[in-house]
């Protein structure tokens, strides 16, 4: 089915000047950018976005990192967009990401892991609405 999913190009990838290379991966793999914006997340916006991770040991570092510089937030649309985007990103930990994936090619650590992508239809709906709702 045609789905929509939320993608974030994180501060490490923006700082590395690889926004275009990452977006190119989406486009050449059949995903269309249907919404996009560049912004620096406030603590409040980052904490709300990652609310499900509140209380996890990595939460504070995650929020610090995600507010450390500009990000590009976009909605990707296409056939099986949610799973397709996760396949293109590779594993959360770049050390475990398959060859040729975005994280294998552009990420350094589990926090500075280049991209975020929604992990299910439920989170995709919430996350798209969080940044582009109303
Ligand atoms: P992301 O897909 O943006 O969702 C939560 C983020 O927390 C994740 O990518 C990682 O960058 C970061 N993170 C740090 N440590 C962990 C961990 N142990 N498990 C999952 N995510 C982690």
Mean pLDDT over 1-9 rounds to: 98
At how many degrees (to 10) do helices 19-28 and 81-89 cross?
Answer: 130
pTM greater than 0.95:
yes
Cite the active site residues: 116
Q: Which of 110, 112, 114 to mutate to test the pocket of ligand 1 (most atoms within 8 A of CB)?
A: 110
Q: What is the pLDDT of residue 34?
A: 98
| Phi, psi values for residue 111, rounded to 5° | -85, -50
Alpha carbons 17 and 1: distance in angstroms, whole number: 33
Atom of ligand 1 lying closest to residue 50 CA = 5
Q: What is the pLDDT of residue 93?
A: 98
Alpha carbons 7 and 127: distance in angstroms, whole number: 9
Q: What is the pLDDT of residue 88?
A: 98
User: 32: which strand partners?
Assistant: 77
Instruction: Write down the mean pLDDT value for the chain.
Output: 98
Residue nearest to atom 20 of ligand 1 (CA): 92
Q: What is the pLDDT of residue 22?
A: 98
Q: Ligand 1 centroid vs 34 CA: distance in angstroms?
A: 25
């Amino acid at each position: 089915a045609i789905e929509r999913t939320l993608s974030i190009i994180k501060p490490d990838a923006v700082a590395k000047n690889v926004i275009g290379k990452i977006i190119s991966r989406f486009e050449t793999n059949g995903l269309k950018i249907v919404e996009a914006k560049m912004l620096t997340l406030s603590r409040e916006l980052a904490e709300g976005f990652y609310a499900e991770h509140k209380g996890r040991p990595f939460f504070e570092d995650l929020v610090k990192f995600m507010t450390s510089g500009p990000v590009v937030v976009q909605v990707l649309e296409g056939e099986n967009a949610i799973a397709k985007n996760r396949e293109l990103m590779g594993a959360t930990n770049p050390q475990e990401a398959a060859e040729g994936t975005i994280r294998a090619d552009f990420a350094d650590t589990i926090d500075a892991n280049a991209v975020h992508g929604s992990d299910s239809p439920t989170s995709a709906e919430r996350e798209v609405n969080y940044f582009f709702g109303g």
